[in-house]
Amino acid sequence: MKEKIEQMCNQAKEKIAEVKKSNELQELKIKYLGKKGEITSILRGMSELKPEERPAIGSLVNKVRDKLEELIKEKENEFKQKEIQEKLEKEKIDITLPSTKIKRGSKHPINRIIEEIEDLFVSMGYDVVAGPELETDEFCFERLNLPKGHPARDMQDSFYITNEYLLRTQTSAVQARTMLAKKGIEPIRMLCTGKTYRREDDATHSHQFNQVEGLVIDKKENNVSLADLKGTLEVFVRKLIGDNLDLRFRPSYFPFTEPSYEVDVTCFKCGGKGCALCKKTGWIEVLGAGIVHPNVLKINGYNPEEYGGFAFGTGIDRLAMFKYAIPDMRYLYANDVRFLNQFDRRDID
């Protein structure tokens, strides 16, 4: 019996030492240590032994089992290590390889202009502020001298949410908000850019567009005048679009300014000679502007005898069309990368 066990043990050791694959090792494990394996069958045969032989054989079998378990475990670890090693070799990363190019976005032309305008006016001492896009009738119209039923409201046929709330049709709403917020801490030098909404949609109008608004209010004795407004707008247009542009002030009407002007600039396409774009006039209308109406001062808590100033506003999308010669405003909102790529000053691929 003892020899039989030792023989089995040696044979098992040899086979374990020779085994090359993990599944073969599992087979050996079952063959020797499994429920129906050789060790179990020897233990079962113990009953046939004489009682005095049993302890010695029993302890020999246990020793053999422990030894085989140990050897199998070692071999299993060896296979595991090998597997990890092979995986590491296979998945090696070459960090010296050139990287794949990542496509980057670029700043939207509207945002480029907004930043340029804001920087310019900050350099002239203005505060840059923002107002809500969902605005009240009160701030969008009433506080700007446009009471309910005023015919000038029709020009801004709007997206009403309720009777009181609408998507703002003009950033002029921020004029009233600023006047209230700055009461007692004037002078006001305010610049605001933001989205505005009207019910229109064609090559030169979009139902959502961007405006820039400026407002200056100061004590009467500081003489903020039309000359200041003209000088400011000249700097604005020349810095933003072109040095050689001239401005023309045409009388116009806005309920919140008096006198009011529409400001034209030299046609950037023909240089003022007259072409299809400027309808042979040599001028293109760009801005609305004027001296703040006494009613607006009064409604927002400023005495028109004591205070005065000017306001101006324009569409940023139109400025972008002039600056970059964009033929259709809707390109600005189509998110076509072929269009947007043209404004990326970085690398070309």
Give the footprint of ligand PHE on this chain (CB under 6 A).
170, 172, 213, 254, 257, 288-290, 311-313
Largest distance between two CA atoms of the chain: 128
C-alpha distance across the termini of the chain, in Å? 82
Which residue's CB is nearer to ligand PHE, number 109 or number 315?
315
Contacts of 91 (CB under 8 A, 6+ apart): none
Which residue's CB is nearer to ligand PHE, number 263 or number 332?
263
Assign residue 223 a region: left if phi > 0, alpha if psi is -120 to 50, beta otherwise? left
Shortest spacing between CB 288 and ligand PHE, in angstroms: 3
Shortest spacing between CB 246 and ligand PHE, in angstroms: 20
Shortest spacing between CB 211 and ligand PHE, in angstroms: 6
- What is d(CA 311, CA 216) in angstroms, rounded to the nearest whole number? 6
| Cα angle, residue 175 at apex, residues 171 and 181 outer, rounded to 5° | 130
Which residue's CB is nearer to ligand PHE, number 32 or number 256?
256
Which residue's CB is nearer to ligand PHE, number 196 or number 266?
196
Which residue's CB is nearer to ligand PHE, number 30 or number 124?
124
Shortest spacing between CB 344 and ligand PHE, in angstroms: 31
Query: Between helices 109-123 and 226-240, what is the axis angle to 10°?
Result: 140
Shortest spacing between CB 275 and ligand PHE, in angstroms: 25
- Give me the residue whose beta carbon is nearest to ligand PHE: 313
Structure tokens at 314: 């324009």
**DSSP 3-state of 158:** coil
